[in-house]
Structure 1
Amino acid sequence: MPVRAETILFVGNSFTFGAGSAAWHYRPGSVEDLNGEGVGGVPAIFKRFTEQAGLDYTVALETGGGRSLGWHLNERRAVIDRAWDQVVLQEYSTLDAGKPGDATRTIADTKALATLFRARNPKVSIRLTATWSRPDLVYRPGSPWSGRPIGAMAVDLRRAYDRAAKAAGPAVKDVVPVGQAFTCAIRTGVADGDPYDGTAPGQVDLWTDDHYHASAAGYYLEALMLFASITGRDPRTLGAGEAAAADLGIAPALAVALQKVAQRATATDGACGR
């Protein structure tokens, strides 16, 4: 009897569907977009990784630009309320759009979503994607992160996601430190930490032109982190010939460098050895 493919659902917003980059509509036929918008995004990059690793995942996504977890819970419940083996949840980039940095709603909505998914499958494995620092909120005035180090926002978001995971209980298996991986890439010289002053030679900009959403390289790093957490595989095993990187215009040397960053960030739980 053939082994059934593992089912996985990605719930999030533009940071999941890859806005502003080639990731947005990457291989949409390889995944199921539950909203029928032709999105591939980070889930499709993840799917490509699993194919190369010889793993069998049926990947679905439900995304909406600028949306919170509460919106998905209230407006897309009928779409996502199924039995899934794995679920990945990604909150709005500042947690609460009206109160940046406030985790109250994130904690409550994560708990409610975990309850929803556990009712369908008591063994469901849920992960939270802790997102990256936004340079537009760090290098410009008016936000709680203005004037602080570039990695501070990612750390604050991670702490909030940790609180949400704890409140949601054992169904949440991991908080994936994607934002801290961005910081790790900066600390190790792979990425430039300030896109407003240009990109240093030999480094990559992990953000797109709005200094808010990720570039193709940034979404690639996000997918690597999720691949490591979900599959338990070392992302470095994908190697220089990894197919999604080639499809997205990421040079082999940069793909390898980002794979190394993902491995380091995963091994240190986002601390990057510090």
Structure 2
Amino acid sequence: MMKYGSGIWLLIGCAGLAVAPAATAKESAPAPTAAGATSLAAAPALAPKAAPRTILFIGNSFTQGAHSAARNWHAGTVTDLNGAGYGGVPALFKAFCEQAGLDYAVSLETQGGKSLGFHYDERRALFDKPWDVVVLQEYSVLDRASPGDPAAYIRDVARMTALFEKRNPAVDIRLVAAWTRADQTYTPKGHWYGKPVAAMADDLRAAAERARAATPAVKGIVPVGEAWTRAMATGVADPDPYDGIAYDQLDLWTYDHYHASVAGYYLSALVTFGAITGVDPTSLGAHEKSADALGLSDAQAAALQTVARDELARLKAGR
């Protein structure tokens, strides 16, 4: 140990590590101010972290991810306003946002088998507050008593939009145009029986367009059903689950040929993600984490991402 001036230097071992001398009380004392108070150097202020963008999903079993492993997947990452513990499409959306470096606080309010009118009439106290984005998903055949009739849908989109605009005039409202139901297309009981597999999805898109035209504050449409149709047309998915699933193709429906399979919900969430954020779904990559967790292969994830990207590009081009 060697003394030097007012400090003490310690030489440690053969490595020669030196510890700087400690300042004396005189050296370390802060300078007094004119008023006799102590003057300390102000630490640089840290900018407050921006609040996450809020998004609310309102829908039914199609939003919940019913009859698939997606239903309760990562439910803890989103807020279920009903406390039912669903993850579904909202949780997939959240996972995609996190991987893309986007900060969204995701909530959902759902009830299986119900229309938007039910949510407005029975549940609006749960969601009557400001939101940045609201995604509305109507009952699959639009009107249970009169399949394909968009009248109630158009009315309820207008009511919902007025409610949310009152809370936040800048709210971004999107309408989900859902997929063709195989049971409505390939069985005699179906309203779209005997028509091409794209017919129901096309009608749902047309209904969404009418609702948007009637309520111009609606910002856009999420073309989920048309993405499903594209997946079938390009050979990614099989168009008819009743005659067996072709080798190396996906079945977008689950066992009831009504709700979606994991692949179907994954595609739905990809289209929603791309439509809302403007991020190319293929940027998530073949190794996207939720696809692997839910049992989709890298090739399947990449194929579905490409379908979503291409359908969104078509929508953007106005085709």
> How many Å apart are 1:22 and its aligned residue?
0.6
Determine the structure 1 residue equivalent to 2:180. Answer: 133
Could you tell me which of 112, 115, 122 is aligned with 1:68? 115
CA distance in 2, matches of 1:123, 1:107: 21
Say if 2:63 and 2:90, in contact at 8 Å, map to a contact too: yes
> How many Å apart are 1:271 and its aligned residue?
9.9
Structure 1 portions without partners, runs of 5+:
none
Determine the structure 1 residue equivalent to 2:165. Answer: 118
1:72-91 aligned within 5 A: 72-91=119-138
Could you tell me which of 26, 46, 52 is aligned with 2:99? 52
CA distance in 2, matches of 1:222, 1:169: 24
Structure 2 portions without partners, runs of 5+:
1-47
| 2:253 counterpart of 1:207 | yes
CA distance in 2, matches of 1:226, 1:254: 18
CA distance in 1, matches of 2:274, 2:61: 21
1:181/1:270 CA distance change after superposition, 3 Å? farther
1:249-264 aligned within 5 A: 249-264=295-310
- Letter matched to residue 161 of structure 2: A
Could you tell me which of 20, 27, 33 is aligned with 2:67? 20
> How many Å apart are 1:270 and its aligned residue?
9.3
Determine the structure 2 residue equivalent to 1:197. Answer: 243
Could you tell me which of 271, 276, 283 is aligned with 1:230? 276
- Letter matched to residue 62 of structure 2: F
- Residue aligned with 2:107, SS: strand
After superposition, give the CA deviation of every residue in 1:111-137 in whole Å (9 maximum; x if it has no partner). Answer: 000000000000000000100000101
CA distance in 1, matches of 2:81, 2:108: 6
- Letter matched to residue 231 of structure 1: T
> How many Å apart are 1:168 and its aligned residue?
1.6
- Letter matched to residue 128 of structure 1: L
> How many Å apart are 1:20 and its aligned residue?
0.6
Say if 1:17 and 1:39, in contact at 8 Å, map to a contact too: yes
Say if 2:183 and 2:190, in contact at 8 Å, map to a contact too: no
Determine the structure 2 residue equivalent to 1:246. Answer: 292
1:94/1:271 CA distance change after superposition, 3 Å? farther
1:138-217 aligned within 5 A: 138-170=185-217, 172-217=218-263
- Residue aligned with 2:221, SS: strand
User: RMSD of aligned C-alpha atoms?
Assistant: 1.3
Off by >3 Å, runs of 4+ in structure 1: 270-273
Say if 1:11 and 1:89, in contact at 8 Å, map to a contact too: yes
- Letter matched to residue 256 of structure 2: D
> How many Å apart are 1:144 and its aligned residue?
2.7
Determine the structure 2 residue equivalent to 1:31. Answer: 78
CA distance in 2, matches of 1:8, 1:236: 22
- Residue aligned with 1:61, SS: strand
CA distance in 2, matches of 1:126, 1:10: 10
TM-score (structure 1 length as normaliser): 0.97
- Letter matched to residue 268 of structure 1: R
- Letter matched to residue 106 of structure 2: V
> How many Å apart are 1:247 and its aligned residue?
1.2
| 2:50 counterpart of 1:10 | no
CA distance in 1, matches of 2:205, 2:315: 10
> How many Å apart are 1:2 and its aligned residue?
1.3
Could you tell me which of 231, 248, 267 is aligned with 1:221? 267
Determine the structure 2 residue equivalent to 1:107. Answer: 154
> How many Å apart are 1:165 and its aligned residue?
1.2
TM-score (structure 2 length as normaliser): 0.84
CA distance in 1, matches of 2:231, 2:317: 11
